[in-house]
Chains A and B, each alone.
Chain A
């Protein structure tokens, strides 16, 4: 069964500091994608970063990077130089690259609060 685990219900970080949000996953399928989304209080899920299971290098998108450790089945999100606007819920998600099913499996989320 596919499963995403986010063990940090809430995190606090000082403005301008870096923070790591943890995500582990469980799948027996060799082909999958890992995503991180940000959900502010408005409700919209904002796409942050993607990592494919066959990608050799860790994904980066601006201040976001994904620390992908395939053997440990972890896909932690690193946010550098935190800003007040980064305060939100963050969801890790996995999706399999098949043509018979393409749904996301989401973790329970981590609430990040950036302190001025």
Chain B
């Protein structure tokens, strides 16, 4: 079966712009969570969705937002981009909360110039 699909793979944006990233989980998986990975901060949790509801949110400013659709696909949006938002954004897909497996996509590498 298809894995977790994140689009686009690469993005270059200018400071002040906004960006939308997409994550399509494995078919049948209802839990999607997002992480930001940077060399300085490592992997940090952004938010988690289950059945279209945000269950949990990390310590990020309000410029970071997300949503999940009825087909479990999720999007995250970052408004008013800053240079520090340059990172690899990863999404993880699980069948349900508490699953013994969680699969990640290949990530979207965002560069803010």
Interface set of A (CB-CB < 8 Å, partner B): 33, 35, 37, 42-47, 50, 52, 91, 95, 97-106, 108-109
Interface size in chain B (residues, C-beta < 8 A): 26
The answer to whether residues A106 and B55 also contact, given A44-B106, A44-B107, A47-B101 and a CB cut-off of 8 A, is no
The answer to whether residues A37 and B104 also contact, given A45-B90, A104-B43 and a CB cut-off of 8 A, is yes
In whole Å, how far is B108's beta carbon from the nearest beta carbon of chain A? Answer: 9
20 A–B pairs (Cβ distance < 8 Å), ordered by A: A33-B100, A37-B104, A43-B109, A44-B104, A44-B105, A45-B90, A45-B104, A45-B107, A47-B101, A95-B98, A95-B102, A97-B97, A98-B97, A100-B55, A101-B55, A102-B94, A102-B97, A103-B33, A103-B48, A104-B45
Bound-state Cα–Cα, A101 to B94, Å: 13
In whole Å, how far is A14's beta carbon from the nearest beta carbon of chain B? Answer: 28
Bound-state Cα–Cα, A102 to B92, Å: 11
| Contact partners of A45 in chain B: CB under 8 A | 90, 92, 104, 107
Closest B residue to A101 using CB positions: B56
Contact A106 B56 (CB under 8 A): no
At the interface, yes or no: B19 with Cβ under 8 Å from chain A? no
Bound-state Cα–Cα, A45 to B92, Å: 9
Interface centre among B90, B104, B107, B109 (most CB of A within 10 A): B104
In whole Å, how far is A74's beta carbon from the nearest beta carbon of chain B? Answer: 19
At the interface, yes or no: B8 with Cβ under 8 Å from chain A? no
Bound-state Cα–Cα, A101 to B49, Å: 10
Bound-state Cα–Cα, A45 to B90, Å: 8
Bound-state Cα–Cα, A17 to B106, Å: 29
Contact B100 A102 (CB under 8 A): no
The answer to whether residues A43 and B88 also contact, given A52-B100, A101-B56 and a CB cut-off of 8 A, is yes
Bound-state Cα–Cα, A45 to B65, Å: 23
Bound-state Cα–Cα, A52 to B50, Å: 21
| Contact partners of A99 in chain B: CB under 8 A | 55, 97-98
| Contact partners of A43 in chain B: CB under 8 A | 88, 90, 106-107, 109
